[in-house]
Amino acid sequence: MSVSDAGTAVPIVDSHCHLDFPQFEGERDALIARARAAGVTRMVTICTKLREEPQVRAIAEAHEGVFYAAGTHPMSVAEEPMVAVADLVALADHPKFVGIGETGLDYHYTAESAAAQQESLRIHIEAARQTGLPLIIHARDADDDMARILTEEHRAGAYSCVMHCFSSGAGLARAALDLGFYLSMSGIAAFPRSAELREIFAAAPIDRIVVETDAPYLAPPPHRGKRNEPAFVAHTAAKGGEVFGLDYAAFAAQTSKNFDRLFSKAAA
């Protein structure tokens, strides 16, 4: 599936993973090696709490092809200090810092902090605007507010954005695509019961799709229910190819090209 006719792994990118998470403690070198063997030439590891940025940065610095992004995850906004635009902008000086976030809105688990999440989201948007780096959005059970804020802010000043691990409704997908944003396909899109989500992806322009693992979460079949890792992005991409009527190599090449356009600082 991830191997070309010539016997070499087809290059692909994992646009979103969490290599600093404790599930990978003690075996990061091995899992990055497995990713390389599966054709994953680049990956973006995401810091979800700014106080942990030094550890995430160190992982990126230690491994060729590993880049990083940082922000305050919406589910952590209530417990973390409110981020400042200047703090996020300062991180962009690092050559391997390639995105702002993940940020966003999560009303499924943390609806009680909705107001603070919205404030944090707008701060991250301003940092994306100032740095020119893409915004990385987490959205769960907040489609209306998310579409409204992204649209309001885009009118106030353009920025680029990816809807990470997109699993929301068609309305939010259309709002994001209308703003020129990207949708990221995770293992959820490969789940048997995700036919409706696959239809949303199929309706999107192929040049606005990237793929990710969100490792250690959301492993695609045949690893569903187990710990995810960057190598498994190949399984999601195989399903993505089916959705768009492309073979694996063509879909991997297209999504890698899309990644280069969106995450230009990490371009091949």
Annotated binding-site members for a divalent metal cation: 16, 18, 102, 138, 164, 214
9, 39 Cβ separation under 8 angstroms? yes
> Sign of dihedral through CA atoms 95, 87, 60, 12?
negative
List residues forming the annotated binding site.
16, 18, 102, 138, 164, 214
Query: Which has the closest alpha carbon to 31: 75, 109, 21?
Result: 21
Query: Which has the closest alpha carbon to 259: 91, 136, 128?
Result: 136
Q: What is the Cα–Cα distance from 109 to 113, expressed in whole angstroms?
A: 10
Q: Cis omega (within 30 of 0) on the bond before 216?
A: yes
Written in H, E and C, the secondary structure of 113-138 is: HHHHHHHHHHHHHHHHHHHCCCEEEE
Query: Which has the closest alpha carbon to 112: 80, 79, 139, 78?
Result: 78
225 CB-near residues (< 8 Å, 6+ apart):
219
Query: Exposed, middle or buried, 169 (CB in 10 Å: 0-12/13-18/19+)?
Result: middle
Tokens representing 251 are 């879909």
